[in-house]
Amino acid sequence: MSMVGLLCTGLLVLIIWALWSKQPVVKVLARVFTGLVALASATGMVFLFWVGQRAHWTSDGPGMLAVMIGIVFCGLFAILFGGLFFSSFNRSSGVGETGTQPPLNT
């Protein structure tokens, strides 16, 4: 595995740990980061799709192939980081492992 692959894997593990962390500041920072990455990936996917439409999906050389591959990777990043973003809200919603709300102390 290359150094870039190890760095990306380590960063993903660090983000997942931060989302499951008990520290509220760390969790909020991880949520903001994953939300921004998901939003940027979705924006990149839409932009690349617009570029492809504008060029009528034809080009001289491998340029359009790079656009199509970029659309797929941006979409995968948007799904991955969007899923991490929204699953972190589900984890902190107060619903226990059994699916029931904790009792209220009144």
pLDDT at 33: 93
75, 49 Cβ separation under 8 angstroms: no
Q: CB 51: neighbour CB atoms within 10 A? A: 16
31, 50 Cβ separation under 8 angstroms: no
Listed as ranges, residues in the chain with pLDDT below 70 are 1, 91-104, 106
pLDDT at 89: 79
pLDDT at 98: 55
Domain ranges of the chain: 24-91
pTM summary value: 0.75
Residue-wise pLDDT for 10-20, tens only, equals: 999 999 899 88
pLDDT at 82: 93
